[in-house]
Structure 1
């Protein structure tokens, strides 16, 4: 009933694959924007070592995006599958309480702690991708390590971690929230 536009009960949370897609696109946008603006504000390139080209940066962003998507999926995937699987068990044993009911409640709402783990995985994957990208472009191990050390200890590293944290938090919030679509005042049929 709510699907046809009527003012029925809440349609529930956003499905995990949709939340993952939106959050991943948001992460990529925030990461590229944040690194660009930080580079502009600091007056330095993200990877300041000459001769490396763009390959280490591209490898870092690709690895970070894959780690972000994997980490966020691990945090939110249980929300859709366990909610449906837990419903028959809840109806079959309504008087049961204890650890099983807590696990079902946790399965329905993914924890915001997943944003922390996703951020850590994304940050490490970005650094690893830049390191491997630098090594594969012909840089010495010392140069690749120096580039990664600089990224990890400057504002560029903070930007990567912040983009991952904000986007993963938003992805988890999309799955947890029970919001309905917005409605304009003239859509209410009772005004007539």
Structure 2
């Protein structure tokens, strides 16, 4: 066993994976809670099914992860990276709802109506806020200069204390 120091922080691809999991969990939970509190549908256009919402979330996740990975290239990355990540999640959600409506068999007008209701309703800002918060978490992971937990005797050259 060597005493070589571990690298500080988390690598950007790993941070993007963790932040993406946080984003999708926050986004889905927040959409559910806000929908319950407001007693309103996330996509109020009837007859579309679940496909537009699912594809909207996948598009929001992909655009969020892409922008976050791009933003984490800087050394050290800025917390302002969270702003374009939130915007990318918002745009991805809106565009994904249109694509999802078309995939589910709805006409283009209903897809645009669904995307418009997401964009100007509560769903768009909720997804953008989840993207912003998750991106802050991702930047924090990369910027954190911590090491893993260590026992007190790990740095001692004599090994663990004697059991008496």
Q: TM-score, normalised by structure 1?
A: 0.73
**Residue number in structure 1 paired with 2:80:** 113
In the alignment, the residues of structure 1 paired with residue 122 and residue 45 of structure 2 have an alpha-carbon distance, to the nearest angstrom, of 17
User: Within 5 Å, which residues of 2 pair with 1:3-22?
Assistant: 11-22=7-18
Aligned-partner SS, 1:108: coil
Deviations 1:88-133 (A, max 9, x none): xxxxxxxxxxxxxxxxxxx420122221111111110110000121
**Matching residue of 2:104:** 137
Task: Give the C-alpha shift of residue 10 in structure 1.
Answer: 6.7
Bigger share in helix? 1
Secondary structure of the structure 1 residue equivalent to 2:10: coil
1:109 and 1:176 in contact (8 A); partners too: yes
* Residue correspondences, number: 156
3-state SS of 2:110 partner: helix
Match for residue 54 of structure 1?
50
**2:90–2:124 Cα contact (<8 Å) kept:** yes
What CA distance in whole angstroms lies between the structure 2 residues aligned with 1:179 and 1:159? 31
RMSD: 2.2
